[in-house]
Structure 1
């Protein structure tokens, strides 16, 4: 085989020619300069030599001269292959020195091989240089000039290269720091390893550190030290390179993964004179790789264990991944599907929503989500698909059962809509999730309006009751109670609530089921009932007070007639004043009973002027000073038939409402007038035409809206806050006015106040004069009759005894029923009449009467009481009591009644 000697100081040139020639069947020897070429050629004579010109140690021109001067070597043709000398005289010089061919770099491989073959085919014809030896001086002169010229050019090139190298070195150092990459070398026979700055930093040593070989090896893990030692020895021995990844401990204690690369550097004689290489800290790279592997493993495990099915396609729609859940849902194994085109494996999906949506996701590079039924599998799938750079990822789940559950829920929701109770579901944050038709009816909000709103804000008006109820619900899991809530139109509603905490499969609270029943009407009825009970209790209390007050007033009233006789004419006015006061006290007691117990009040002639003046005095004492009170009454009497107590209640109620309508102050006007109602005006008020007393109460408050005016007289309607009013006031006023054959009228305008006018039929003549006081008359006297007085009040017994004795009667007294029976038994043949109280300790009046009748007493019995309950009245009827006087009574009433009873007997 043809042997070719290549001489070039550039490794890349050697590599190129070695590959080119070796690939075409040539045996190749190499040398890096002329001196080495001579050594190689003498040991392995070549068939042809291919040499560069500018090289270290010995250049190509010198080699050519030595080559042609050697009788053995010059038999092999010499080809100059260079890019250094490109001028024609350079080529001429080479040929003058005996070169067989001159080829410029770079040349096409085919051209180079053709020239080489041509040279070999013709061989070398000249055994001496082409020019005579005498011309050697001229040749050397030309050679020297060419060499100097090219060296200057080379120097300039090197200078430029050095500048570029400087910049590159800085960039390389920067890159080395970023990549944690440095260089090193070790000369044969040297004791110290030379490290770059970055290698020093990696070892935790200061820059410029050059450790000896053993110290450098000692940084490595103990198990790795023999490995690096053998690598160094082998490389020095035969040039074997290495690329190892080892572990070491830096001086500052870091445990590092490092990559160590080493290769041989040969001298002119081809011996390994140095090992040089690279050193890189790959700790972070390996850590990142481990993290990526761990992440990939976790991702794989996650996808494998997901409850959702996962299916992945490549751009050609081939299946590249399917997790176990996907196998179950598709009823196909991974082995069957991996690498297969999905549309071929599931032809029923071609043209379906699945294909349309998948292709849309890939085309638009956007996520798609849909629910679709796949007939071959008889399954509803909820599908979400995401495009990726590698294809499409599809997540899907079987929602067949859920859709069936949704269908059943829809049916149940329809049934819930028919329920009478308001049913709603809200999240733990009180967001409304469900709202049935009854909730719409109760609260006035449609489902569309309510769902998504906050229940606390929507219907509970931010009440603290709701917050407390929710706290108990979260603690106990359920809550039952009553809430005051608000409807859309502002109506206050009372609901009876039953709340249940709904939990998910894991037992965690998820939502609240609330069933609310409207109990507003029932609660109002209960309040009315409780009010009635309260009034009954007040009535019972008032009855007891009335009894005691009447017992207090009775002796005073009876004593006045005695005092009149004793005082003489000069004291009559004072006594009459006392009589009026005691009578008024008795009337007040009767009015309290009438109001508290609902006792039928007697109707009498009442002057509305008097009623209003009495109320005016109360208002001026009790109402705030910021309210101006104006009262207007006519000069003529304004009489009507009515119950004074109830009339007081009407005017007082209207006045209090007027005060409440002016919280910041204003004018309260009460006007009494006599009015003639014509036909039209009377018809409007539903009254008969005629003459009426009008009592009007006006305020300067905010007024009443038209919608409220229509319902203001309805029971329980009120515009006041909770706890301020029952809503019964105006309803009661209207009832009382109508009970007096009258009418009530409201006139109001927003911002201008309100006027309530009450109309009552006028009675009596205009010219009616006050009646003159009755002249004093003689009180009826007895004729020695024996009277038994029974009362638990000592003062009443004492005054009655004195009055009766003074007016011709004999008297015996008893403090209770038992003592009265003893007196009866002592004087049964003498007694002519018995006067007894009703309420007494021990044996009361009805029991005494029953006992007397049982013992055959037929004497008349007069019952005197300040207050008789319904039960007491019934018991009196049972014992057939015929005679009754109401405490307090005057001496005249007592004597007249007693005289009438005795005469009647």
Structure 2
């Protein structure tokens, strides 16, 4: 079994050649430097040496010179195997120094092995050892060797310069990328602070959620609790909405052709009340289509929904007013005919008192109907009001006897009237109707009796008041009773016409 010494300063090259040669029956020894190879060869001479040229400390040319100058080693074939020295002059120098073959590392394994086999099969005769001073030919070889080293050094310098320029460009690109990233991060931070929404960023790989300050500002959670993870966010969703929201998000994530998700649900605030929110998210996928991140924002739409409900209610009231006005006009025309004929009939029945009484009842019913149409037209804003300066205290005192008879003896009426009350500009008839209806509603809330208080007072409003009134002096009329009160869910319907919570037959509400 032939023994080959391989010399190369790169581990991967040594591993490649060692594997190749061992697989073809060779015994292999390795060295990473020229001086190391000389020591090993002098201790245990190999049958052949394969050496690289470009190596630190002692390069391949120097090793070749030393090898061929050693009487014990000069007969052993020396093969150059290089990827750096590829010029014809490099080959000629190696052969002049005594190399038996010059192989480029680009050669295929079969070609490399073929050269080894050819050299192995030929008898090898060593060159005579030089015993005299360096001859002219040897001086020429050394000069060529030095020129080759200088050329390779220049080539390496150029390669290093090119690599340095490429590295500088790469550093410049990295610095530009980092600067752009810093600008992008700063822009995102400013946008997150400027928006009134609760912006969020969910990294699904680490299950980490980031929230901007809008989360605390909108929903009031303390700073320490203002960065909930995904599970904590889900717990804040109303139980009746939670499963639908999470199922919708899972469906959006599972669809490869979908990159958007949105949901509307109730979200618990720090004070316990539920805010109606609109949540939107953008899905970010990797190269395989798997969602790895979601970025989005939550908007509190509670006020918007309230305004929409108020708008719909106003629209319904407007339509109801138009309908009421039309019905009232037609009904008023019919009542005119009824009242006119009833009065003529009453005047013609002087000799029939009983029938005349019936005719008078028809007239009175028609008059009450006319009064009702007057109110309907007033509601529909089609009946003109006749406001004038009125002393509110006198109006209340004037209607008290009627109220006492209407409310019954089990209701105690108390008047608390401000003596310094200024005059008010109202339609006294409409105000009396309103006052009477409010008191009747109070009586219905006190079936077993109670106290009803009517009070008047002068007041001054400012711009900070919750009422939609300009600053100035006003008169307040209030009616309170000791009845059962109004259910909280009915408060929003207080001023809705024709609405009543009273049971059938228990009054008009």
TM-score by length of 1: 0.26
Q: Which has the higher contact order (CA 8 A, sep 6+)?
A: 2
User: What TM-score, normalized by structure 2, do the two folds share?
Assistant: 0.43
Q: Which has the higher strand share?
A: 1
If you compute each CA radius of gyration, which structure gives the higher value, 1 or 2?
A: 1
